[in-house]
């Protein structure tokens, strides 16, 4: 054996495992220039061998490319400006970057198209398993509420980084549950609000579907759900801001979400993010009667609002939609609750009317952060209270 080792040294072979006895195999890295000589030598001396990796160089090149790519994705996601409002294309690109830098945790799910044929995406945060109990969060169902989309963008990044940094309670929540986050629930409306600073565009609320009145497109997507549809607090006039649509889930955007959640079948919480008015609310919107779980939902919302307040001192009020805002039928939280998704909440983010829908971008990060405090509380509570 010593003779062989001397020969191998001459051929500049790199031993990956060392020779310890004649019974055990040895792994050798063979430079291309020595390849033939080594094969000839081994055959001549009846030393059996197998090629484990044909071209180590190729593997190394590929691995390096992947690392560079990942670093690039990391850099892109780190350089993303969370303290600014972005258009749909930029948000969709952000989602791709986020998925690429956290491919072990996050995937992008296509849940269907909008009226104007744009794709609706949900980010799925999952550590594996099949249809684990899940939490749904949507933002931007009303186009002009830009702080909602901007907050969701920040939240997506925060969930990812908390998971990566092993920061409680995110890893624990994700070991038991999946999180589905839809950053833009009304892409057509959102694009419309970016077309011009003119209030007709920037202050658009609804979808962009054609209605029975050619002068008045769009349906209020948060009055179109199958929850006492046709009840109080929603209009049957296509020109109204809270036009409910011709029938429950007539709007493709609503139907896509409904189908996704029903097909999944294992959602335990449904949270929708709006602005403005600084409220954290629970069902019902369509009725003033207390929901059966009202005491618990009120407690959870109260604690969540206290967690939110602890960060910047922002004060949120808590209550049912019906009592806090007004009677409103066809609302998404009511739909979710009536389908048995107990922990259903609606946020109205900053502010209370000073800037309203035109919240300055320098408030995005603090708004998102305080919202995260509340959301984190709710998600942990949901995780700790399986049903």
Catalytic residues: 348
Binding mask 171-210 for other proteins (x = CB under 8 A): ----------------------xx--xxxx-xx-x-----
What angle (nearest 5°) sits at the alpha carbon of residue 372, between those of residues 368 and 377? 160
Instruction: Identify the DSSP state of 358.
Output: G
**Binding of other proteins by 84 (CB under 8 A):** yes
Among 338, 358, 365, 366, binds other proteins (CB under 8 A): 358
Distance of CA 294 to the CA centre of its chain: 28
Query: Is the CB of 134 or the CB of 359 nearer to other proteins?
Result: 359
In the list 128, 360, 384, 385, the residue contacting other proteins (rule: CB under 8 A) is 360
3-state secondary structure of 317: strand
Instruction: Please tell me the count of residues contacting other proteins according to CB under 8 A.
Output: 39
Task: Indicate whether 352 belongs to the interface with other proteins (CB under 8 A).
Answer: yes
Tell me if residue 196 falls in helix, strand or coil.
coil
Q: Return the exposure string of 184-208: e unless at least 16 CB atoms fall within 10 Å of the residue's CB, then b.
A: bbbbbbbbbbbeeeeeeebebbbbb
At closest approach, how far in Å is the CB of 313 from other proteins? 9
Cα separation, 223 vs 221, in Å, equals 6
Q: Which stretch binds other proteins (CB under 8 A): 59-67, 113-121, 156-164, 356-364?
A: 356-364
According to CB under 8 A, which residues from 238 to 257 bind other proteins?
239-242
Residue 213 in contact with other proteins, rule: CB under 8 A: yes
Provide the minimum distance between the beta carbon of 319 and other proteins in the complex, in angstroms, as a whole number.
Answer: 6
**What does the alpha-carbon distance between residue 19 and residue 303 come to, in Å, rounded to a whole number?**
65
The burial class, CB within 10 Å (0-12 / 13-18 / 19+), for 302 is middle
**Where on the phi/psi map is residue 53: left (φ > 0), alpha (ψ -120 to 50), or beta?**
beta
The contact pattern for other proteins, residues 36-75, with x = CB under 8 A and - = no contact, is ----------------------------------------
The pattern of x and - marking residues 309 through 348 that bind other proteins according to CB under 8 A reads ------x-xxx---xxxx----------------------
What number of other Cβ atoms are within 10 A of residue 163's Cβ?
20
State both tokens at 84: 């600014």
Query: Which of 11/240 has CB closer to other proteins?
Result: 240
Q: Which is nearer to other proteins, 250 or 324 (CB)?
A: 324
Minimum distance, C-beta of residue 233 to other proteins, in the bound complex (Å)? 8
Q: Which residue has the tokens 């409904």?
A: 258
In three-state secondary structure terms, 243 is strand
Query: Does 295 engage in binding with other proteins (CB under 8 A)?
Result: no
**Rounded distance, CA 63 to CA 352, Å?**
52
Would you count residue 10 as binding other proteins (CB under 8 A)? no
Write down the least CB distance from residue 295 to other proteins, Å.
16
The DSSP letter of residue 108 is: E
Q: How many CB atoms lie within 10 A of CB 222?
A: 27
Residues contributing to the site for other proteins (CB under 8 A)? 84-85, 193-194, 197-200, 202-203, 205, 213, 215-216, 220, 239-242, 277, 315, 317-319, 323-326, 352-361, 363
């Amino acid at each position: 054996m010593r003779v062989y080792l001397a020969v191998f040294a001459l051929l500049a072979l790199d031993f990956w495992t060392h020779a310890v006895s004649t019974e055990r195999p040895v792994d050798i890295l063979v430079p291309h220039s020595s390849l033939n000589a080594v094969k000839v030598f081994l055959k001549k001396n009846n030393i059996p061998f197998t090629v484990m990796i044909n071209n180590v160089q190729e593997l190394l090149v590929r691995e390096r490319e992947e690392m560079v790519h990942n670093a690039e994705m990391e850099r892109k996601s780190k350089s993303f400006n969370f303290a600014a409002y972005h258009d749909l294309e930029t948000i969709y690109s952000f989602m791709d970057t986020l998925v690429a830098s956290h491919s072990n945790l996050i995937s992008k799910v296509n849940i269907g198209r909008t009226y104007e044929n744009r794709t609706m995406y949900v980010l799925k945060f999952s550590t594996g398993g099949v249809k684990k109990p899940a939490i749904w969060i949507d933002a931007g169902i009303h186009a002009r509420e830009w702080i909602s989309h901007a907050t969701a963008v920040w939240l997506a990044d925060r969930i990812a980084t908390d998971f990566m940094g092993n920061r409680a309670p995110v890893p624990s929540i994700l070991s038991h549950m999946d999180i589905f986050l839809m950053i833009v629930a009304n892409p057509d409306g959102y694009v419309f609000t970016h077309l011009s600073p003119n209030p007709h565009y920037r202050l658009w609320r609804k979808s962009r579907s054609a209605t029975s009145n050619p002068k008045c497109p769009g349906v209020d997507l948060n009055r179109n759900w199958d929850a006492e549809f046709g009840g109080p607090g929603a209009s049957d006039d296509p020109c109204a801001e809270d036009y409910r649509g011709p029938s429950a889930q007539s709007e493709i955007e609503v139907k896509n979400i409904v189908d996704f959640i029903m097909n999944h079948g294992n959602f335990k919480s449904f949270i929708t993010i709006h602005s403005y008015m600084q409220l954290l609310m629970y069902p019902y919107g369509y009725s003033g009667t207390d929901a059966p779980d009202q005491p618990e939902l009120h407690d959870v919302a109260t604690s969540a609002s206290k967690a939110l307040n602890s960060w910047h001192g922002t004060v949120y009020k808590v209550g049912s939609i019906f009592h806090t805002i007004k009677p409103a039928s066809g609302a998404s939280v009511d739909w979710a609750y009536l389908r048995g998704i107990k922990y259903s909440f609606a946020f109205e983010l900053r502010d209370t009317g000073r800037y309203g829908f035109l919240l300055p971008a320098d408030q995005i990060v603090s708004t998102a952060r305080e919202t995260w405090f509340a959301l984190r509380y709710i998600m942990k509570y949901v995780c700790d209270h399986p049903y």
